[in-house]
Homo-oligomer: A and B are copies of this chain.
Amino acid sequence: MTDLDSPQHNHLLNALPDAEYQRLLPHLERVEMPLGEVIYESGGELRYVYFPTTCIVSLLYVMENGASAEIAVVGNDGIIGVALFMGGGGMPNRAVVQSAGHAYRLRGQLLMQEFNRYEGMLHLLLRYTQALITQMAQTAVCNRHHSVDQQLCRWLLISLDRLPSNELTMTQELIANMLGVRREGVTEAAGKLQHAGLIHYSRGRITVLDRPGLEARVCECYRVVRAESDRLLPPPPTLT
């Protein structure tokens, strides 16, 4: 499956015209993204941007008391480090690998060169950033109005959309940290889904058995984010 791991498996890289892609290619460095790795930290400086291919990265805010909440999720649909080209150099949150895999990284300096030189790169990245903004906005809405059950569905579907298989490696404890709820809350919600035959759960290994079933339970937030991504971003690479 080298396919899944080529730079083109990242939708943004794949959307670049060939000439542009070839120019970038020699500078793309394939890196391992182990579970739990912190890609950048609140207040830190961004030396690289990352284009995930097979990993998933969560952007989360860690509160002063240690509690946390997920702001957004980035997989092979996007890029880690938008603050670089947005001009801030950093953001007050943390990026941490939520599902192990690989990514291609690029020196920030090089990205900025392309960003300033080639208009297509600028527009692509800005459109992606807008999709990211929608995801954050909807996270806020979901946190306000929807139940843990619904949020778990949303979270599973978002993760699933960014993975090649229907299985994810993720303890309930971790999910709870992402959603910013109690671990027991996740146990209960997951229990309901498992009971309904939608997923199978076993010691940090979740298998999604009935994706349509999840989609039927999820709140509108998932659909809004999904629709906006589809609208703003190029269709995923046509790998078989």
Instruction: Give me the interface of A with B, judged by CB distance under 8 Å.
Output: 59, 61, 63-64, 67, 69, 71-72, 82-83, 85-88, 91-93, 123, 126-127, 129-134, 136-141, 143-145, 180, 220, 224, 227-228, 231-232
Contact = CB atoms under 8 A, between A and B. Distances in A.
A83 B130 CA distance: 7
A92 B228 CA distance: 8
A67 B145 contact: yes
Contacts of A133: 82, 86, 91, 129, 132-133, 136
Contacts of A59: 137
B145 A86 contact: no
Contacts of A67: 145
Given A61-B138, A145-B180, 17 more contacts: A61-B137, A64-B220, A69-B140, A69-B145, A71-B137, A83-B130, A86-B133, A87-B126, A88-B127, A88-B131, A88-B228, A91-B130, A92-B134, A92-B227, A92-B228, A140-B143, A141-B180
A86 B130 contact: yes
Contacts of A72: 137
Contact of A126 (B86, B123, B127, B140): B86
Contacts of A64: 220
Nearest to A67: B145
A46 B47 CA distance: 35
Contacts of A145: 63, 67, 69, 180
Contacts of A127: 86-88
Closest 7 CB pairs of A and B: A140-B140, A143-B143, A86-B130, A144-B180, A87-B127, A143-B144, A139-B140
A46 to B, nearest CB: 12
